[in-house]
Structure 1
């Protein structure tokens, strides 16, 4: 207890306003980096002034902290970093002795020329000198890829994308270890179309069509068939099927058949084939009938269907 009371008494002595910020018992007031308002300049060590009424040091411009122990950073790091013993450590995207210089972000990021497997990304260049751009694209199912782009370019085509897939695209600029803030956009690749559309098992009033399924995740297939006179019929086919019959057709008629895939309001390209329904077959049976009166033979045709 006596030891604790002694330490408290020493602290009171050191922190006395008249001692100015800790100047007591061999400890230089204000860490030796300030001056006292009404004492010789040796008090506070010439690095700030000390108000003896309060014991609070008033910093000189190039020093900081309560006891003037720390050297002030240039421009206080411009509010863009933290200061340690006179040196600024800048936040991401900023650099310079006072953190006043930064890498600005790309702007107006857009996508165009989007196909089933590709998308072209473009942006406005940054104004500050940089080393490179970085482009990151992530599909909604979690696949992520990064691509480095030269600093003099402002466009790149992303390859090997998945059909009918949404992608989030981020782009930023880099200079050394510094990065700009990210700019972003979104795009959805086109749905790939069905392939190998075939018409087989053709009868007088039906045509069975088949196709290879699409790679994209879809809601349905849609199929239409058009007569020579322009009349069109349309039907929906479930997404997990790749064959369907068209029934109730006219015999001996040519049909143009189209099929495409749909996801929401998005549609794939259409593919088509042609088929002609069969005609009704007519058989001719010749019957010989003898005329009993004349003795002659005549032919009497009979039709079968």
Structure 2
């Protein structure tokens, strides 16, 4: 009896004559297949794609100039002429919200990118160096963690002065310790891997080891937390504008529109309803997308 008959394996010629060997799926196809099973994450992604399209193209198709006054239609509710009503100056709420999408979204994404970049650098240094450097960076993060994110952002903006750019810096400062701690934890898991030891033994510089060999191993945690942080950044930036630290009330920014509408909540609730609803749905979509990415990328959950 041959070895093939003992093991029950068919000879290679049978595969050639019959069915073909199954082809290995690429990692991208596997990821897409797993992600598509999570309906809420897909719904969040589709909504965010729509928001991005609106942010890019809104100025070309909105029905009214977002800063055009119409004193004949003050505080008008939703009508066929003004789908989402008008504000205290007769400006079309729908046009202002659509035009302000790019400002609100770009502010949140820029703040998240800035906070992520700085947090990643400090997290890599802390996890790779260890010892006193690690302790000093983590204690600094603990100090920042002692303050709520919105309160820390208010303190930064109060020092730098109001404005969209300073809001981005304030929100980024609030995000830095979170990313530093997440990346540090990921680095501690990766730095003991065999390929990192091989890089050390071949004489690679510490910077090359950190950014070329260790950093790619942290991307999974980074992508998930960045996605969820953008939603939090939208809330923080809108909250700062609502409190008067961010965009001025004349700019079509979601938080600023919410702030101006609160004074007319009893007489014109649509001025608060639609900006608040848009903020809620966008933040929810980012959180759903982040949950879906976490469930898809985490091998322990699969």
Which of the five TM-score ranges fits, normalised by the shorter chain?
Answer: under 0.3
Q: Which structure has greater strand proportion?
A: 1
More relative contact order, 1 or 2 (CA 8 Å, 6+ apart): 2
In the superposition, the TM-score normalised over structure 1's length comes to 0.19
Q: Which structure has greater helix proportion?
A: 2
The structure with the larger Rg is 1
In the superposition, the TM-score normalised over structure 2's length comes to 0.19
